[in-house]
Amino acid sequence: METSDLTGDVSAASASVAGANLVNLTCFEVKERVYALDVAHVREIVRPREVTPLPKSPALIEGVVELRDGVVPVIDLGRALGGEPCEMGDAARIAVLEIDGLVLGLLVERASDVLSLDASALEDPPTLATQAGYEAIRAVVRRPEQRPVLVLSLDHILESIYRSELPEKLSDPSPAGGKVS
């Protein structure tokens, strides 16, 4: 299934049925927060397996796992979002994603459910957050009596992985290259 701009609206691959503009989101939990991705990007969800480290790989790549289709790099979603690593409990899963031919696995603490909702239920993130440069979330879904669902920006996650490859001195935009005098 072909996808277009990852930063735009949830892909057209989410159903448009009988005039309704439906969006299907796969939900995950990390550190008691609920995150979501368009179902069109989720190839499968598997139980965690042994991760083989890759020498000199970008810092956010935990390593690779072998699946029936080949070897897939694994990224810990907790770390990719700038937080603590995911806890490896019984509910932990690897969400195998495919984005424009690129396959990767996101380690999450729990795969919770799939939401089907009208596209109008997707709200912009708070203005203060976006003006401050916070780009990890591209939409929010409010749910009565439940925590909101934070729809992830796959572009941001991929950019975080690429930036983790840069030496600390190059990735720090401060004039002293991160050094305090």
Q: Please give the backbone phi and psi of residue 116, each rounded to the nearest 5 degrees, phi first.
A: -115, 120
pLDDT (tens digit per residue) in 100-118:
889 999 999 999 999 999 9
For the chain, what are the domain ranges? Answer: 22-165
d(CA 119, CA 22): 6
Tokens 């603590």 belong to residue: 84
pLDDT (tens digit per residue) in 77-88:
999 988 899 999
> Buried (b) or exposed (e) across 117-133, using 16+ Cβ within 10 A?
beeebbeebeeeeeeee
User: What number does CATH give the domain 22-165?
Assistant: 2.40.50.180
d(CA 52, CA 61): 10
pLDDT (tens digit per residue) in 6-41:
333 444 444 444 446 999 999 999 999 999 999 999
